[in-house]
Amino acid sequence: MRKMFLLLSISFILSACAASQPLIKPTSSGYPEGIFRNTSIDRISSKIMDGCTSNGLIIYEATSNQVVCGKTMSGMEAVLGQLVVGNSYSTTPERKVRFSIFQQGNDVKVVAHEWMESQMAFGQIRRQPLGANHQKNSLQQFLFSLGAE
């Protein structure tokens, strides 16, 4: 009961914080996205991987149409993440981002999805989407920093 109350309290606090910040770029998908003009998927994929590693993230997966990068959470973020997706027997949560990359004519479109995950004691992975406005804005700023419109 105590854990449930704590989770509800944390969810309420996080929801209140998320609602207070407007999105810097509302999109039709609801996720951060960007258009890179007159380029190729390979070039944008490389830019994303370079941006991830430059920001201290690990590349977990890179295919022709997606890049997944992330980082193990630490400090209070890890404690809160552990409460949301794990338990005392699970791994420290990781924050991950999947960049879906696809060609649109001469341009390349990228859509970003962020989540946290933890592996439980018997190997199952628990995931929780991250979609607060400040998190979306941070990803949107990342895409802008790479040259997206």
What b/e string do you get for 63-72 counting C-beta neighbours within 10 Å, with b at 16 or more? eeebbbbbee
Q: Quick one: which of 132, 140, 139 has its CA closest to 20? A: 132
Whole-structure pTM value: 0.82
Q: Which residue, chain included where needed, has tokens 């960049």? A: 99
The pLDDT tens digits of the residues spanning 125-141 come to 989 999 999 999 999 99
CB atoms within 10 A of CB 43: 11
The pLDDT tens digits of the residues spanning 74-99 come to 888 878 877 778 777 888 889 999 99
- pLDDT more than 90, % of the chain: 62
Burial class from Cβ neighbours inside 10 Å (0-12, 13-18, 19+) for residue 32 reads buried
Per the CB < 8 A criterion, the answer to whether 118 and 81 are in contact is: yes
Residues 6+ apart with CB under 8 A from 73: 81, 92, 93, 94, 95, 116
- Rounded to the nearest 10 degrees, what angle do helices 2-20 and 133-145 cross at? 50
